[in-house]
Each structure stands twice: as structure tokens, then as C-alpha cells.
Structure 1
Amino acid sequence: MPKATWNGVVIAEASADEVEIVEHNVYFPPERVKKEFLQDSAHTTMCPWKGVASYYNVVVDGQVNGNAAWYYPTPSDAAKTLKNRIAFWHGVEVQH
């Protein structure tokens, strides 16, 4: 079962058939992510084929991991299966 943890806290968990894996990144459905650990970030990046990614800071016990989660609110047609799914990096451990 895919799971994302940071600082010993499970941030996201889903069954294998619920996630999308693209370019070695696990994209969790938003309903499987514990939103209480996410804080909006103004940071964005552009992927040539997926579109503009928006970011969240991951916050656990007052510690902030800046821009450690990202998602595509309006992905390109080629990446439409990723719409609003959330992926992690910057030290967030993701098992799949």
C-alpha cells in the first residue's frame, strides 16, 4: 500500500490501484491525503508536458518542509489523470 510519511507521521496512504505513478513519483488521490498536514504555498513550476504545478508546504508538529508536495490543478491533456493528485519529495518518504 503506497504511503507518504514525514517526521514519523503518515501524510498520505492509498491502495496501489488508487495512485498514479509517473516518472517514479507516486501521485495520491486528494481524498487519501491528510490535508491537516498541508499548507498552501505560492510556489509554482512548469513541466513541459504536464503543465503548471502548484505546491504545498508539509507541516508536522510545527516543523515546515517547504514546497514538499505538488499537484497539477489544470494539467495538460497528456497528464489529465494527474489532476489534483498530490505527490511528495524533499525528504518525505514515499513507499509504493
Structure 2
Amino acid sequence: MKAVVGGTVIAEAPVEDLIKIEGNWYFPPSSVNEDYVSTSPTPYTCPWKGECQYLTVTVDNDVLPDRAWRYPNPYPTAFDRVGKDFTDYVAFWKDVKVVE
């Protein structure tokens, strides 16, 4: 699977390495090209996953605020619900296309 903006791949991993949570594909941290993401100041806490860290996706001159997110310290009970440890896995939204 790939996360793509325009023609630029910003994350890539085999589907078996991804985790699907609430309809969103979460990519392993090592599969995300950190050159294209930066920490956003937007706060959010999911009631069952924990404190979320939003990321801004930047490709060339295209800046996409809060189009990615991860959970650096998810609630331990969330692992039971998801079935896996998803710490720092990254999901994408809107302008970032997730394709096979």
C-alpha cells in the first residue's frame, strides 16, 4: 500500500504491515518518509485511543495541514480493541490518497 500526494509516495508498506482502524489505514512508522511530514500544533484526544499528534504533509509547495496523525502514547486498553500495538503508526486523510 502507498500513501500518495500527486505523484509523490510519502509512505509505503505491504498491506499485511498496516493496521486498519475505523476505516483508516495506519502505516508503520518506518514506512513513512519523514521528509514529507512535520508535527502540527493541533490538539486532539480520542476517547478510546488517547492523545493524537497531527502532522502536516508537505510535498513541493503543497502544504496540507493536519492530513496525517499518529498516537505516540495510546491508551493500553486501545491495544485490546485494535488487536495490535499501533504506537506511532501514521494514518492519512483527504488529499493524501492511500492506494494499493
After TM superposition, the score normalised by the length of structure 1 is 0.92
Q: How does 1:2-81 map to 2 (within 5 A)?
A: 2-80=1-79, 81=85
**Unmatched 5+ stretches in structure 2:** 80-84
Percent identical among aligned pairs is 39
State the 4+ residue runs in structure 1 displaced beyond 6 angstroms: none
Q: Distance in 2 between matches of 1:47 and 1:13?
A: 26
Q: Which residue does the alignment assign to 2:90? A: 86
CA distance in 2, matches of 1:94, 1:78: 27
The 2-side partners of 1:7 and 1:44 are apart by 27
Cα displacement (A) at 1:79: 2.7
Query: How far has the Cα of 1:90 moved from its partner?
Result: 2.3
Alignment RMSD (CA, Å): 1.1
SS at match of 2:35: helix
SS in 2 for 1:67: strand
Letter in 2 for 1:32: S
Deviation at 1:52, TM superposition (A): 1.0
- Per the TM alignment, residue 78 of structure 1 is displaced from its structure 2 partner at its CA by 2.7
Instruction: Give, in whole Å, the separation in 1 of the partners of 2:78 and 2:15.
Output: 19
Q: 1:30 deviation in Å?
A: 0.8
The gaps in structure 1 that reach 5 residues or longer are: none
**TM-score if structure 2 supplies the norm length?**
0.88
